[in-house]
Amino acid sequence: MTIRLGDTAPDFEQDSSEGTIKFHEWLGDSWGVLFSHPADYTPVCTTELGFTAKLKDEFAKRNVKAIALSVDDVESHKGWINDINETQGCQVNFPIIADQDRKVSELYGFIHPNASDTLTVRSLVIIDPNKKVRLIITYPASTGRNFHEVLRVIDSLQLTDNHKVATPANWQDGDDVVIVPSIKDEAEIKQRFPKGYKAVTPYLRLTPQPNK
């Protein structure tokens, strides 16, 4: 199965390092970050999971729950978590799904046969509170993920869900944003964006971030 943007994130029930996870129930009304790992006790994944643990407060203030996946079993996960905590100076504070039967990996398309028939690629999915898939990023196994970019995308998604704006290249929280082209009425623009705007071209209009 291949998931695409806008799809409902597949639901599942699977064991994890924190017990059985019923995914949609576990997410509740939170945003979710689901990310896969080729296997336990792998060096790049160890750094990724440690860094994710350190982002607990950043995820919490955005109403985001993190959940990882690896094709090894729960006991292996628990031993690996001990290593992660010790080597990365953290406390892993999110579940790692035990996907020995590849059920979740197949649901989400995390196994790419041309890369490996059995190991998951380094994929990451952002899911909104309506259980819709909003971002899919897939890295090669050799390249660790950029979690600052993950936070940036979540900030952009949450902003643009609530305001008729888009975020330009390299946007960071607090930068100017783009007024969406569908808004053409000047009265509506003044109402929505009282700080004004700069028209670079008729279709590229920059305005201060409206929730700041």
Domain residue ranges of the chain, discontinuous segments joined by +: 13-144, 163-207
CA distance 84 to 70: 14
**Above 60 in pLDDT, residue 25?**
yes
φ/ψ (deg, to 5) at 96: -115, 120
pLDDT of residue 19: 97
- List 9, 27, 45, 150, catalytic entry: 45
Sequence-ordered list of residues with C-beta below 8 angstroms from that of 135, at least 6 positions apart, any chain: 5, 124, 125, 126, 153, 157
Read off the pLDDT band of 110 (50, 70, 90): confident
Over 60: is that where the pLDDT of 117 sits?
no
The reply to whether 45 belongs to the active site is yes
Model pLDDT, residue 121: 61
- 2 compared with 84, residue with greater pLDDT: 84
Q: Over the chain, what is the mean pLDDT?
A: 93
Q: pLDDT at residue 120 above 60?
A: no
> ∠ at Cα 7 (55, 27), nearest 5°?
40
30 DSSP assignment: S
55 CB neighbour count, 10 Å cutoff: 20
Question: What burial letters (b/e) apply to 143-154, b meaning 16+ CB within 10 Å?
Answer: eebebeebbbbb
Contact predicate 115/121, CB 8 Å:
yes
Read off the tokens for 151. Answer: 């936070």
Q: Please state, in angstroms and rounded to a whole number, the distance separating the CA atoms of residues 116 and 111.
A: 7
Tell me the pLDDT band of 114, cut-offs 50, 70 and 90.
low
Q: What is the pTM of this model?
A: 0.92
pLDDT digits (tens, 9 = 90+) for 47-73: 999 999 999 999 999 999 999 999 999
Name the residue type at position 123.
Answer: S
The CATH class of the 13-144 domain is: alpha beta
